[in-house]
Chains A and B, each alone.
Chain A
């Protein structure tokens, strides 16, 4: 084994501290801004640590009083949840059969390759016709319309993840069940899908993260509280004339909370999904 000098050990710990500081400082500052009194944030020299923790902004954003900042925020939170939920369910409904088919019948694999190649398309290449199409169908500024558009991002990705998942389930298990007299759909229901449950969960989480993160289509295709998502609401706050920066930070903390919790809890599954070649789009 390599012998490590004390100087090397000190160097390693110094680097580790530096890396931790780089990662944590911006995130910690976002949270500190959200609980600092407005006067502290505007003070020169800046007060890095609030005199007293002030959680009133969280109350303000999560209040349902009519025409408050909270009402707009809650509406966008609800839209984001609905759109991410619908788009994820729809993507999985398409991805599970398609992923299984490609996994078991490699001859049709090229069709999935074509679907995945669409990852390269910049969303701007589809935006104008999608805008005109949604407008024609009366689906602009509508959660169903946006969820449908999100399938452009979610469906290829989840199909690819499901296909790799089914690849790791031996087809001999399916063959054995069929020899015992089970039909195809019975075999899938009783044998394959339960074995694929962890992959489905990982795919669903990735899909939710992708939908939660999406901004470009949401910016283009929504215009008010009926469909605006959290990302658009936050960009509005950041670009608007809000005088209290702490309020913008609070919205950021609340929007980041679900994906960060998913990230921490699902760390292992997410990293294996990422390192097998897939990357959040």
Chain B
């Protein structure tokens, strides 16, 4: 069979997917680019061409810079905590103890819980009048009066980060555990004979096996955290006083609440660019890590 025919046949089999992807992703993306140079409203006829006005207005607004800081804080703290707790949980699950299989099975629960259900659950836990957190802390005499964890600017973002970590650290743990189980027993045994302490053993013997899979988890989790919408929309809608407003929430408000489609589109593309830069930087890092671990 000729290779040209093989390639043509492959393209024919790819075609339905490509057509649908162009229709639901390619065309909307191009259209977003076009809209971002206009003052179009969400409903009604297309707006006027305004050049880079949307971009310059957006980039110079204090709303944008504040939101960028909030998003970055949310992403860095949540992902860092998820990585650390996830690896610790994986190291624990890699030990031999009774009930290990059950505990491992339980790890899938927070991951499987729909994001909106997770957000609702934590919203109930943080409830200022009847929430379990207030009840527990009061009954333990750690606080005197019930607090509004999601209603106070000082605690809202931290409360969201806890909810995000609880749902996502088990995934990191499962990925890390699979990597740990690939570490050959002979190597850890040999390092013991050579007198390596627990810290050095982790740093020099185990970590190289973890590095690759953990980098992948780190990239995907960071991109997810940077795009976060569902969790925040259900728990705080970006409040109080916009202290938990992330970039995706800001785009939603701009394009759909205020119906400024053009300006919203420009912001959406700025966010896309930031996520892409993040991913490219990470990809370079992954290649480097994979190279040094091999």
| Residues of A that sit less than 8 Å from B by CB | 1-2, 9, 12-13, 15-16, 19-20, 22-24, 26-27, 29-30, 33, 41-42, 44-46, 48, 93-95, 97-98, 100-102, 104-105, 107-108, 111-112, 115, 118-133, 148-149, 151-152, 155-156, 159, 184, 209, 212-213, 215-216, 219-220, 230-231, 234-235, 237-239, 245, 248-249, 252, 255-256, 259-260, 262-264, 267, 270-271, 274-275, 277, 279-281
Contact = CB atoms under 8 A, between A and B. Distances in A.
Contact of A255 (B35, B114, B227): B114
A120 B223 contact: yes
Given A101-B13, A121-B272, A259 B112 contact: yes
B178 to A, nearest CB: 4
A97 B275 contact: no
Interface string B112-133: 1111110111111101011010
A122 B92 contact: no
Chain B interface SS verdict (over half)? helix
Given A12-B92, A42-B130, A120-B276, 15 more contacts: A13-B97, A27-B110, A105-B7, A115-B21, A120-B275, A124-B248, A124-B251, A124-B252, A129-B29, A149-B24, A220-B256, A245-B127, A249-B121, A255-B116, A260-B112
A26 B171 contact: no
Contacts, number: 273
A263 B99 CA distance: 19
A33 B251 CA distance: 35
Q: Top 7 closest A-B pairs, CB basis? A: A263-B112, A46-B135, A105-B10, A129-B31, A129-B28, A101-B13, A101-B10
B268 interface: yes
Interface residues of B, number: 93
A131 to B, nearest CB: 7
A231 B116 contact: yes
B216 A151 contact: no
B225 to A, nearest CB: 12
B271 A122 contact: yes
B15 to A, nearest CB: 9
B234 to A, nearest CB: 5
Interface residues of A, dominant DSSP: helix
Contacts of A245: 124, 127, 130
Interface of B: 6-7, 9-11, 13-14, 16-18, 20-21, 24-25, 27-29, 31-32, 35, 42, 89, 92, 95, 97, 99-100, 103, 105-117, 119-125, 127, 129-130, 132, 135, 138-139, 166, 170-171, 174-175, 178-179, 189, 192, 213, 216-217, 220-221, 223-224, 227, 229-230, 233-234, 237, 247-248, 251-252, 255-256, 261, 264-265, 268-269, 271-272, 275-276, 279
